[in-house]
Amino acid sequence: MTATIVTIGDEILIGQILDTNSQHISQLLNRAGITVAERTSIGDSAEQIVSTIDRALRQSQIVIITGGLGPTKDDITKHTLAAYFSSEMHYDEVEAHHIESLLAARGIEFNELNRGQAMVPDSCTVLHNAHGTAPGMWFERDDKVVVSLPGVPFEMRHLMEDEVMPRLSARFALRSIVHRTMITSGIAESILAARIAEWESALPASLKLAYLPAPNIVRLRLSAYDVEGESTRRIIEREFEKLYRIIPEHIVGFEQASVEELVHNTLIERGLTLAVAESCTGGNIASRFTAQAGASAYMLCGVVAYSNESKCRVLGVEAEAIAKYGAVSEEVAKQMAEGARRIAGADFAISTTGIAGPTGGSAEKPVGTVWIGIATPERCFATLRNCGTDRSQIVARATAYAISLLYEQVR
Amino acid sequence: MTATIVTIGDEILIGQILDTNSQHISQLLNRAGITVAERTSIGDSAEQIVSTIDRALRQSQIVIITGGLGPTKDDITKHTLAAYFSSEMHYDEVEAHHIESLLAARGIEFNELNRGQAMVPDSCTVLHNAHGTAPGMWFERDDKVVVSLPGVPFEMRHLMEDEVMPRLSARFALRSIVHRTMITSGIAESILAARIAEWESALPASLKLAYLPAPNIVRLRLSAYDVEGESTRRIIEREFEKLYRIIPEHIVGFEQASVEELVHNTLIERGLTLAVAESCTGGNIASRFTAQAGASAYMLCGVVAYSNESKCRVLGVEAEAIAKYGAVSEEVAKQMAEGARRIAGADFAISTTGIAGPTGGSAEKPVGTVWIGIATPERCFATLRNCGTDRSQIVARATAYAISLLYEQVR
């Protein structure tokens, strides 16, 4: 069973917004055993919408479309779909009432444009959008399904989870897709590939191996498509056991889990707490942890000590240490981690201090220089990493390094 | 001039990674006057790669491909392209030397797999990847261009900026695309559309209007494609002046700028400083500001006061206030903002305290309840917002509300 995902909107093509919808839809379809054949983003053009749906229906049984359902003139998806399915429009009283009460709660009058949102094609099943004003639509033709959802990520997600997935499961006999991921650390992709080459060549043909490198981490994913029963899972387990025996010292975790999820789970399991002191990563580490439901069990406090004064005032870093070694130094990284651990009363603390650029670098400490400090119940130390030359990359890498160093301490 | 962007990788189709490359490439092409006709993501399959390139070349003159250039077996883009352009491979000594020295700097041995990375098709121009081990490739056929780049975002970006864009400008006579955006605040999309309907209908046919809603904000974007000379810019200016006269009280800014960029620019211009105290947003607000180069000019300190104790210990919130009103309350939001402003010695401070869920809600304070506090040199107050029912959405909305409330204070 395959699907094509189509996201509609000029704002995607000009790069004004990041298309996160496609990723979320891919995950949901995959979990239900539906292979995504292609994801495509097109503009608000009737001609392009029609030709893309034509093509999508040739290559897959399910087409999920998002975007272009707003109340304004640039949103043409609904009328294009009505024409595509040779359908008249009618006024849906239930949806109209829902839209009216949603707007009333926000003190907004129900006007002509909102009335247009309650118009739906006769040929579709309306998917109720409990969280927004644009209803979803479910069309069927020749045993194939075309679903249209609003582009607002939050509304799309609830419609996919609450309406679309249950209907797809009921409509089609779905097989499952199995992905399992092993996470390695401290070994470069090419060296890793050389070390496991023999194992890789001997893999059963039904399994597909992928290498997914990230700072300090390479994920190895084994995938099997169109799976029936439990035997594939056992085959993958067995292959991972063999792999483990080849590189035991480099295996840090399993499954889709990001390293912050691994830390999150470990801290909760072990009943430990965390504090974070960030300079160059600017709140990014704290937000990675707090994005996870349940983080309040261990996350006590984060300090984004951007100015030198706040490093001293809030974290208790010695002004002399900054004067003597500079704010980006082993000593200051250690004092930041210790300070965060102390003021929060936490078991573990991590800190970052570095030069995110584009300015502020020197010959001795170029842009990308980052010290990462770790304070544990037993000791405090700091590690130097060069995190690249580009601001966003430096922040991302420093964050990934810091979290993976923390993982080595807590696991 | 139009382009198609193709991102290759099973990890995109199963939703394991978010495709940020497409957005960045779209932005760069757009700025140079190249219209992106379509963005498509496909798997690591030779058949799919070939059919997608065929289609892309039918609809556009430029095809930009990312992904599938790694050293491992699942990466097949290079060999597929070599076959597509009927080309033999040769060993590129310059690239081999570059790869070897990059690896040496990281203490990694140059092995067979890396040797494979230095093999390139005869028919392409090699694009030197200064930041990674996979070279880019530039192919030409029938006056059309196909570019293949590595999927690592950082490497892709530098190759696009340093190699691809200059070559495209030299190769084609590019016209420009003009986008201008006006940012409105405090008016719902449907009400806004009704108020400006007459203006919208009277817009010149060469201009395309788009509505881009976000919490508390609706952006209005006017776009003109295939533009020569300066007259279009003047026409857009004139239309925006008319629009301003219709809804002056709702216009908060112009251009592509996000609200945090507007705050960033305003604080720097006015020489003012900022502190942030976050509970439910967990570092997200701080990281939005610090992601911008130059944030250290105003960003003094952020505190992620996740535990009640850290609210008291670090920010000086009164334990009695938490006991009496609860951590999610007007009083605590105000004390958090005041505390952040005081400990950082900043001109302005914002705070958030709320219930991000999925647990912790009650009838009186359901999940999504967020108090946003603002402390200015003159006063301190807090505003209550309901930010939805989903954790990531609550964090995103609370962040957007807080930053837009701050903007109202500093502008």
Domains in chain B, number: 3
Residue A314: both structure tokens together: 């809030």
- Are both A405 and A266 inside the same structural domain? yes
In a mutational test of the A interface, the residue from B304, B350, B387, B393 whose CB has the highest number of chain A CBs within 10 Å is B304
Chain centroid to CA A228: 28
Specify whether B191 is located in the same domain as B115.
no
Residue A303 · residue A278 · CB < 8 Å: yes
Tally DSSP H helices, then E strands, for chain B.
17, 17
Angstroms from A392 CA to nearest CA on chain B: 7
Mean pLDDT of the B4-26 span: 93
The proportion of chain B whose per-residue pLDDT surpasses 70, expressed as a percent, equals: 98
Distance between CA atoms of residues B252 and B357, nearest Å: 31
Q: Name the packing angle between helices A77-84 and A46-59 (round to 10°).
A: 60
Residues paired with B218 in a beta bridge: B184, B213
Q: DSSP assignment of A344-401, as one string? A: HT-SEEEEEEE--SSS---SSS-TTEEEEEEE-SS-EEEEEEE--SSHHHHHHHHHHH
Q: What angle do CA B66, A236, A170 make, to 5 degrees?
A: 80
d(CA A330, CA A335): 9
Label the pairing between strands B136-141 and B176-185. unpaired
Q: For the ranges A334-338, B273-277, B358-362, which has the lowest average pLDDT?
A: B358-362
B159 and B13 within one domain? yes
Contact assessment for residue B359 and residue B317, using Cβ atoms and an 8 Å cutoff = no
CB atoms under 10 Å from CB of B84, counted, come to 18
Distance CA A403, CA A383 (A): 13
Residue A295: both structure tokens together: 């983080």
Could you tell me if A246 and A392 lie in one domain?
Answer: no
Percent helix, strand, coil in chain A, to 5, is: 45, 25, 30
Specify whether A68 is located in the same domain as A151.
Answer: yes
Domain CATH for B233: 3.30.70.2860
CB-closest option in B73, B210, B390 to A10? B210
The 10s digit of each residue's pLDDT in B34-55 is 999 999 999 999 999 999 999 9
pLDDT the model gives residue A276 = 98
Q: Is the pLDDT of residue B176 over 80?
A: no
The helix (H) or strand (E) run that includes residue B255 is none
> DSSP code of A34?
P
Cα Rg of chain A, angstroms: 26
Chain-centre distance of CA B330, in angstroms?
32
Same domain, B199 and B163: no
Tell me if the pTM is above 0.80: no
Q: Mapping DSSP to helix (H, G, I), strand (E, B) and coil, where does residue B127 land?
A: strand
Which of A206, A222, A254 is at the close of a domain? Answer: A254
| B19 contact residues in A (CB cutoff 8 A) | 19, 22-23, 39
pLDDT score for B47:
95
Residues B109 and B210 in one domain: no
If you write DSSP's letter for every residue of B10-67 in order, what string do you get? HHHHTTSS---HHHHHHHHHHHTTPEEEEEEEE-S-HHHHHHHHHHHHHH-SEEEEE-
The dihedral through the CA atoms of B55, B60, B66, B71 has a sign that is: positive
Sheet order of strands, A144-149 included: A125-127, A136-141, A144-149, A62-66, A2-8, A35-42, B35-42, B2-8, B62-66, B144-149, B136-141, B125-127
Closest partner residue to A74 among B209, B290, B305, by Cβ?
A: B209
- C-alpha distance from B87 to closest chain A C-alpha (Å): 25
Q: pLDDT higher for A71 or A270?
A: A270
Min Cα–Cα distance to chain A from B411, Å: 23
Chain B residue with CA closest to A59: the answer is B48
- Are B151 and B16 spatial neighbours (Cβ–Cβ below 8 Å)? no
Average pLDDT over residues B96-102: 90
pLDDT averaged over every residue in chain B? 91
Task: Tell me the shortest Cα–Cα distance from B370 to chain A, in angstroms.
Answer: 16
User: How many angstroms away from the CA of B310 is the closest CA of chain A?
Assistant: 6
Q: How far apart are CA B155 and CA B149, in angstroms?
A: 8
Domain boundary pick from A238, A254, A270? A254
A112 within 8 A of A127, measured Cβ to Cβ: no
Same domain, yes or no: A54 and A190: no
Show the CA angle centred on residue A391, arms to residues A390 and A397, nearest 5°: 85
Tokens describing residue B358: 């999925």
Beta carbons of A217 and A184 less than 8 angstroms apart: yes
Residues A217 and A87 reside in one and the same domain: no
Q: Domain containing A356 — which CATH number? A: 3.90.950.20
- What are A120's two structure tokens? 């739906």
Structure tokens given for B284: 């997200």
DSSP A213-232: EETTEEEEEEEEEEE-SSHH
Q: Quick one: pLDDT at residue B331?
A: 97
**Per-residue pLDDT, A229:** 67
Domain final residue, candidates A138, A171, A204: A171
Within A170-298, strands assigned E span 176-185, 208-214, 217-227, 251-254, 274-278
Q: List pLDDT tens digits, range A345-370.
A: 999 999 999 999 888 889 899 899 99
Alpha-carbon separation of residue B208 from A7, A69, A75, B202, B345 (angstroms):
19, 17, 12, 12, 46
| Calpha distance B162→A87 (Å, rounded) | 50
Q: How far apart are the C-alpha atoms of A241 and B204, rounded to whole Å?
A: 66
> Which pLDDT band, with edges at 50, 70 and 90, does A148 fall under?
very high
What type of residue is A379?
R
pLDDT at A380: 97
Does A282 contact B301 at a Cβ distance shorter than 8 Å?
Answer: no
Q: Could you say which of B284, B313, B395 has the minimum Cβ distance to residue A283?
A: B284
Contact A11 B212 (CB under 8 A): yes
Please state, for a pLDDT cut of 70, what percent of chain A lies above it.
Answer: 98
Cα–Cα distances (Å) from A394 to A407, B49, B256, B411, in that order, read 20, 32, 24, 31
Q: Band the pLDDT of A248: cuts 50, 70, 90.
A: confident
User: Given an 8 Å threshold on Cβ–Cβ distance, is B314 in contact with A303?
Assistant: yes
pLDDT digits (tens, 9 = 90+) for A299-320: 999 999 999 999 999 999 999 9
Phi first, then psi, for residue B192 (nearest 5°) are -60, -50
Domain assignment of residue B45, given as a range: 2-171
Q: Which residues of B touch A190 (CB under 8 A)?
A: 71-72, 103, 108, 111, 113-114, 133
* Residue A381 pLDDT: 97
Give the Cβ contact number of residue A170 at 10 Å: 8
Same domain, B199 and B219: yes
* Rounded Cα distance, A103 and A98, in Å: 9
**A82 and A132 co-located in one domain:** yes
Nearest residue on chain B to A302, alpha-carbon basis: B304
> What is each CA distance from B42 to A229, A258, A395, B49, B300, in whole angstroms?
28, 24, 29, 7, 44
pLDDT of B330 reads 97
- At residue A280, the 3 state secondary structure works out as coil
Give the highest mean pLDDT range of A201-215, A277-291, A384-398: A277-291
The CATH number of whichever domain residue B151 belongs to comes to 3.40.980.10
Is the CB of A23 less than 8 angstroms away from the CB of B41? no
Residues A325 and A356 placed together within one structural domain of the fold:
yes
Cβ distance A108 to A96 under 8 Å?
no
